[in-house]
């Protein structure tokens, strides 16, 4: 039997959906709100400055084919796809059928992104990472309709953020039955260096979001660090332990080690708000630029962290975040 795919929202339909999505203090986020959170997270990550060798407000970093306006166009082009991912997931449980539907929507979103950016795959990894979290968030948002009744009880006792990541992971663990064989940069890097990459990150439950990114962001805020610096330090915390396939693709193990060691040095010096930390940051960026390498995988996971953080701030009063 043929799989019935959900059709992504077009811009006009999305505007009407946003108009109907009136926030209430006790309401779970609707599909349009989840899509808006996803796009805002990509924009927040792109605009965050400074980032080591990444596109930011200062320039293109190690990317000759990208700049900030293009990154913003890319992010905004994905809002209909994120809304469609949420709509397809709401009220359902992870399954092979849902996985196939979401993959089809993701591929359509990627085409929209490529058209908006004249062929750049600026957010290809983010469609996978953030898209799965949008799907997980839509399922959690439908909990009042007993969408999670069949899940193992421990999943209903975890925090809201953890449940979203767990559900995204469950979806990621199903194979994409209709995908064409892919020999992408990421696939080649995973095979050559025996690393998990974005696929394994998702299937493992987004450990660099739940176990690294969110704790780092909240710890920085608790110290009174400004939001911009808190987010930069969160990116560095993710870089410090992530086997970033973007660094590996561009510069091999030398690039990965430079990124990890340099990020650890900034954090050990007190983060980017200290003079020593900023000097270590500048040394990290110089090293990455000399290798023509940038931590794109860590950037995607920062965007995912910001998305989950937005969900936690939106959660109804009394909900565990």
Residue 37 domain-assigned (yes or no)? yes
- State residue 158's pLDDT score: 56
pLDDT at 10 over 60: no
The SS3 call for residue 53 is coil
Residue 7 domain-assigned (yes or no)? no
pLDDT band with cut points at 50, 70 and 90 for residue 21: low
Q: How far apart are CA 123 and CA 142, in angstroms?
A: 27
Residue 173 domain-assigned (yes or no)? yes
Q: What is the pTM of this model?
A: 0.88
Reference 206, options 232, 245, 173, 233; nearest CA is 173
Residue 271 domain-assigned (yes or no)? yes
Q: How far apart are CA 172 and CA 250, in angstroms?
A: 26
Q: Tell me the β-bridge partners of 257.
A: none
Which pair of tokens denotes residue 187?
A: 């696939």
Q: How far apart are CA 96 and CA 62, in angstroms?
A: 38
Tell me the pLDDT tens digit for each residue of 112-141. Answer: 999 999 999 899 999 999 999 999 999 999
Residue 11 domain-assigned (yes or no)? no
Residue 23 domain-assigned (yes or no)? no
More confident residue, 22 or 78: 78
- State residue 18's pLDDT score: 46
Average pLDDT of the chain is 87
Alpha helices in the chain, H assignment, sequence order: 11-20, 31-47, 68-77, 79-89, 96-116, 124-141, 160-172, 185-193, 197-203, 207, 214-222, 227-241, 245-268, 275-290, 296-314
Q: How far apart are CA 56 and CA 139, in angstroms?
A: 33
Domain that holds residue 278: 30-178+185-314
Reference 21, options 140, 141, 127; nearest CA is 141
Residue 25 domain-assigned (yes or no)? no
Residue 24 domain-assigned (yes or no)? no
pLDDT band with cut points at 50, 70 and 90 for residue 2: very low
Task: Please tell me the least confidently modeled range out of 63-67, 84-88, 123-127, 315-319.
Answer: 315-319
pLDDT average, residue stretch 15-23: 49
- Number of independent structural domains in the chain: 1
Tell me the pLDDT tens digit for each residue of 285-314. Answer: 999 999 999 999 999 999 999 999 999 988
């Amino acid at each position: 039997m043929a799989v019935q795919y959900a059709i992504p929202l077009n811009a006009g339909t999305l505007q009407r959906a946003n108009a109907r999505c009136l926030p209430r203090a006790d309401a779970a986020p609707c599909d349009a709100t989840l899509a808006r959170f996803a796009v805002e997270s990509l924009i927040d990550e792109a605009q965050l400055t400074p980032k080591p060798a990444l596109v930011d407000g200062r320039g293109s970093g190690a990317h000759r084919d990208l700049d900030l306006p293009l990154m913003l166009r890319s992010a905004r082009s994905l809002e209909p796809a994120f809304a469609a991912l949420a709509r397809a997931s709401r009220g359902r449980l992870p399954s092979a059928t849902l996985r196939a539907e979401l993959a089809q929507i993701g591929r359509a979103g990627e085409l929209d992104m490529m058209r908006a950016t004249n062929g750049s795959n600026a957010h290809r990894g983010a469609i996978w990472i953030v898209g799965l979290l949008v799907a997980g968030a839509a399922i959690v948002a439908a909990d009042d309709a007993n969408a999670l009744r069949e899940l193992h009880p421990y999943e209903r006792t975890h925090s809201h953020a953890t449940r979203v990541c767990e559900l995204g992971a469950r979806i990621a663990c199903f194979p994409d039955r209709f995908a064409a064989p892919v020999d992408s940069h990421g696939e080649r890097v995973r095979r050559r260096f025996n690393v998990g990459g974005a696929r394994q990150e998702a299937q493992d439950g987004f450990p660099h979001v739940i176990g690294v990114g969110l704790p780092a962001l909240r710890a920085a805020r608790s110290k009174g660090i400004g939001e911009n610096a808190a987010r930069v330090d969160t990116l560095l915390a993710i870089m410090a332990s992530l086997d970033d396939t973007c660094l590996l693709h561009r510069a091999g193990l030398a690039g990965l080690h430079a990124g990890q060691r340099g990020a650890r040095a900034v954090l050990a010096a007190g983060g980017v708000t200290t003079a020593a930390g900023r000097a270590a940051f500048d040394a990290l960026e110089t090293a990455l630029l000399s290798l023509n390498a940038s931590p794109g995988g860590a950037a995607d996971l920062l965007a995912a962290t910001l998305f989950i953080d937005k969900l936690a701030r939106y959660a109804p009063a009394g909900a565990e975040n």
